[in-house]
């Protein structure tokens, strides 16, 4: 198990100690995300007029909104990935079928070439016999 990490961060101009089993970099990234959310809200005129409880509720709603949007995006990516995997499987299957057909066609071509050569030999033999029989007459 990872060891517990304690890190002091400043969120919304207040000092907090975050504790967790994640890295310091990760915990700092979380604090930075929250600070960026506060900065976004502070730019809005309406935010200043809200009481502390409403500000906290608004923050929670926005973080939850980000979470659900990212979760939906991840599900879409996973769905697309599954579809791509299925397409790849189907294409590999099609390649194998086409390779089998190609091998079969190559074997058939080789057999036909062999038959053609045998037939050419017969033609040459028959022409030779015909020429010899004409000479012998």
- Whether 135 is in a domain gets the answer no
- Whether 54 is in a domain gets the answer no
pLDDT band at 48 (very low <50, low <70, confident <90, very high): confident
- Is the predicted pLDDT of residue 99 greater than 70, yes or no? yes
Distance CA 47, CA 44 (A): 6
- Whether 29 is in a domain gets the answer yes
- Whether 37 is in a domain gets the answer yes
**What pLDDT does residue 1 have?**
58
Distance CA 29, CA 62 (A): 17
Domain that holds residue 28: 1-48
**What pLDDT does residue 25 have?**
95
How many separate domains does the chain show? 1
- Whether 17 is in a domain gets the answer yes
- Whether 44 is in a domain gets the answer yes
Sign of CA dihedral 101, 105, 111, 115: positive
> Which three-class secondary structure state does DSSP give residue 17?
strand
- With 0.85 as the threshold, say if the pTM is over it: no
C-alpha triplet 114, 120, 124: angle, nearest 5°: 145
- Is the predicted pLDDT of residue 137 greater than 90, yes or no? no
Distance CA 23, CA 29 (A): 10
- Whether 64 is in a domain gets the answer no
- Whether 123 is in a domain gets the answer no
Within 8 A by CB and 6+ apart from 2, the residues are 21, 22
């Amino acid at each position: 198990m990872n060891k517990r990490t304690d890190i002091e961060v400043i969120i919304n101009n207040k000092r907090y100690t975050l504790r967790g089993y994640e890295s310091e970099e990760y915990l700092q990234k979380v604090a930075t995300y929250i600070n960026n959310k506060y900065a976004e809200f502070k730019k809005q005129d309406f935010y200043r007029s809200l009481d502390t409880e409403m500000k906290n509720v608004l923050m929670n709603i926005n973080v939850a909104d980000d979470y659900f949007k990212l979760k939906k995006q991840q599900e879409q990516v996973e769905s697309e990935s599954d579809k791509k995997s299925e397409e790849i499987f189907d294409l590999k299957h099609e390649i194998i079928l086409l390779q089998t057909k190609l091998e079969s066609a190559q074997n058939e071509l080789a057999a036909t070439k062999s038959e053609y050569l045998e037939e050419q030999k017969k033609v040459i033999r028959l022409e030779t016999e015909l020429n010899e029989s004409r000479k012998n007459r």
